[in-house]
A and B are shown apart, each in its own frame.
Chain A
């Protein structure tokens, strides 16, 4: 089985500052990795994903994440955050093959961007 750990439940940061949201996973097989964002009282939106290929993946709104197999991590970063980035961020993992595409989620990190 897979598991995901998001150590930081809440990350406060000032606008225009850089941020890193940490995600570590555990799995005995190859995995696909995802970051989702959830705004209050809404469903999840896919931010970015790693399936294969380049270990650095980027989103259209400036976020990026790097798959590090040796450290079993998939940390999310943004060099300069905006107020509108305030939301809950979930890291998720699924088996690369044969997993039925079931997602296992971390407990989430609340990113709070302040002026």
Chain B
């Protein structure tokens, strides 16, 4: 149980275009979803937290107009990288959680490798 999927797993796009990444909880309803960015040889950096039906809360330094997050249902959140540039190339990982008591464990997706040419 507690499986999270991401689509696509890999995407290559041209500079200036927009890319949408989907994150789905397959067997549970995710009240909260998180989006992370991982640079090569680096740790995961939290970009934003989204609760179903609410606006996402972005971490300091993350451009909300650049990285649009939508959490329209309890099983789907999307991250849209708008007007992508080469510096946006990265590995993007989502996680999802639901109410479990004292701590709501995050279940991670397999990640999406974005390459902007």
Contacts and interface: CB of A to CB of B under 8 A. Distances in A.
Interface of A: 9, 32, 36, 41-46, 49, 51-52, 90, 94, 97, 100-108
Contact of A101 (B91, B104, B109): B104
B44 interface: yes
A43 B111 CA distance: 5
B8 to A, nearest CB: 13
A51 B97 CA distance: 16
Given A42-B110, A101-B32, 8 more contacts: A32-B103, A49-B105, A90-B44, A94-B103, A101-B97, A103-B34, A105-B44, A108-B41
For A32, A41, A94, A97, the residue with the greatest tally of chain B CB atoms inside 10 Å of its CB is: A41
Interface of B: 4, 6, 32, 34, 41-44, 46, 49, 91, 93, 95, 97, 102-106, 108-111, 113
A102 B49 contact: yes
A41 B113 contact: yes
Decide if the interface of chain B is mainly helix, strand, loop or mixed. strand
A42 B43 contact: no
23 contacts: A32-B103, A41-B91, A41-B113, A42-B110, A43-B6, A43-B111, A44-B44, A44-B95, A44-B108, A45-B108, A49-B105, A90-B43, A90-B44, A94-B103, A101-B97, A101-B104, A103-B44, A104-B46, A105-B43, A105-B44, A106-B43, A108-B41, A108-B43
Nearest to B44: A105
A45 B4 CA distance: 11
Given A32-B103, A90-B43, A101-B106, A43 B93 contact: yes
Q: Which 5 A-B pairs have the closest CB atoms?
A: A43-B108, A44-B108, A105-B43, A43-B110, A107-B43
A102 B110 contact: no
